[in-house]
Amino acid sequence: MRECDVLVIGLGHAGCEAALAAARMGRHTVGLTLSSEAIAQLSCNPSLGGPAKGHLVREVDALGGEMGLAADAAAIQVRTLNTGKGHAVRALRAQLDRRGYRSHMLRALDAEPLLEVLETEVTGLRLTGGRVTGVRTTTGGVCARAVVLATGTYLHASLVRGGERWTGGPQGQRAACDLSEALRAAGLTLGRFKTGTPPRLAGELDYSRMRRQDGDDPPGTFSFLNDRGPDVQQPCWLTHTTEESLRLVRENLHRSPLYSGMIKSVGPRYCPSFEDKVVHYPDRLRHPIFVEPDGEVFYVQGLSTSLPAAVQEAVVRTIPGLERAELVAPGYAIEYDYSDPTQLWPWLEAKALPGLWAAGQVNGSSGYEEAAGQGLLAGINAALSVRGDAPLVLGRDEGYLGVMVDDLVTRGVHEPYRLLTSRAEYRLAFRHGNADQRLTPHAVRLGLARADRVRRWEARRTCLEEALATLERTVPAAVDPDAAGTPLRVYLRRPEVTYQSLAAANLVPPLGPAEAAEVELAAKYAGYLSRQQAQADRQRRLEHLPVPVELDYGGVRGLSNEARVNLRRVRPVTVGQAGRVAGVTPADVAGLMVHLEARRRQGVQTER
């Protein structure tokens, strides 16, 4: 029987980050995969990033994760989205070479001396005194002091297209079926979600009928360790469906498993199938289609479908520019099991199964980026548990990582969860360019920041602080000597006054474009950020008020019935978290605080 400190089940995006984090923190780690071909696979779209998601990749990188480095190594096009909107919602999106991304991640896994990868299937859990202490597999078993569940969309997965259904994971890989039953038997509540993928195309495309979309010049990067993006970028193409496309879907809607009754599970709201678009938006005469390079084929973003292959091919032929394209891989839907994330503590450990952490789509989320973020935190906390140290729980005021985990474990999911900038109440502070200043101190403390990252982070921090101090000290008087006392941000709102223009006038030290933009933004939005910080400080006081996990909410006077039910289900660990539970009102929070104060005065311990 193999033994290790941390065991990671599944080596997709969540599993890779979890395994790397645990190994880099000095824990002997074993990663299990159904197939070595499935490791770090971009099983759906060949891209990363976008609003909130791109921020999340930056935060993973700032905490010492690998996704940003892998994305930079495999990027074939990089664009900044939302350039016409505020800086808080601007984010990178990169088209990737699948093989390049996977190759980078495989090298990273192989480079960790404390990390071992095994190809096997988990058939059950090993429990000792109610604690998870390992797994049973088809090749024996592994004992572990901490286990991370990162099964993605493979848990009891089945693929569906037209009237056909077959057992399997993404891209025809094996599904993990026995593990679902083992988790249910151990006491976890599982649900069923679905997702889908569009067809892949090859052959002759008519680019003259589509609009070309090029990357940025110069391209940005996801990792703070990289200064420049790809030297050569490939274009993407924009086209649209036609009325003939919509007619074909309507005529064949009864053959779609989404509308024939074959699929009953809920799919992602923000990545709907083409059939759903046609049904839910009957007045729209066309829908955008992005044709993205994907190795030797093209990925058709916006055309996710589980219609029969012949219908998919007919629909593709109605789209301008794709009339002569060859359908090399039809789209499909995939249904899979997930675990209700309110069964987890904020550090992603299962409440009913100590020793088991969960991360990624098994928690009801969607997307590579969300999975990687959860995997990194689960791996960190599994390693901290083995060391006997307190877990890392990021606040909602620290970054999108904190927002995402709190949303999942406190509010739960009714559909695949997608991180959005609108979910973050402090998003003005979560800019793409300051993730290292917010989160790298945690990486340094945890031992996840290697020497080169620490040097760059310290140098950048010093540079930004000195530049901001110089800006605040010298610019108002230099720009407008007669307006003493006018806040710096007033000047920076003038279009002609930028950090670079001030540097050209020798008023401030010269900086690179990214650093200059960060200093300018910090000064321009200082007032808003200060008010936001004051709000975060008030909320943080509630986050430091513990709620005993064994608290009998039936004995708390003034709670509504809905609040009692939901608080018993979630079992929040702080008053702040209690206030975010669905159905809990400010009056309920006030009643809870009165009850806790009465307990304190009576000398009752309130331990987390």
Nearest to 200 by CA among 301, 273, 307: 301
pLDDT of res. 466:
92
- Residue 607's pLDDT is what? 46
pLDDT in tens, 178-208: 999 999 999 999 999 999 999 999 999 999 9
Per-residue pLDDT band for 430 (boundaries 50, 70, 90) equals very high
Give residue 499's pLDDT.
85
pLDDT in tens, 470-491: 887 776 666 666 655 566 777 7
User: Is residue 158 pLDDT above 90, yes or no?
Assistant: yes
Q: Between 289 and 527, where is the model more confident?
A: 289
Find, among 178, 229, 243, 234, the residue nearest to 207 by Cα: 234
107 phi/psi in degrees, rounded to 5: -65, -40
More confident residue, 147 or 86: 147
Three-state secondary structure readout of 225-285: CCCCCCCCCCCEEEEECCHHHHHHHHHCHHHCHHHHCCCCCECCCCCCCHHHHHHHCCCCC
Query: What are 389's two structure tokens?
Result: 């140290």
Give the mean model confidence (pLDDT) for residues 437-443. Answer: 97
pLDDT of residue 523: 86
Q: Using the CB atoms, write b or e for 308-333: b if 16+ within 10 Å.
A: bbebbbbbbebbebbeebebebbbbb
Is the pLDDT confidence value at 608 over 50? no
Q: Model confidence over 576-607: pLDDT tens digits?
A: 999 999 999 999 999 999 999 999 888 755 44
Query: Residue 66: what pLDDT?
Result: 98
**Greatest distance between any 2 Cα atoms in the chain:** 80
70-108: per-residue pLDDT in tens? 999 999 999 999 998 888 889 999 999 999 999 999 999
Burial class (CB in 10 A: 0-12, 13-18, 19+), 227: exposed
Q: Is the pLDDT of residue 462 over 80?
A: yes
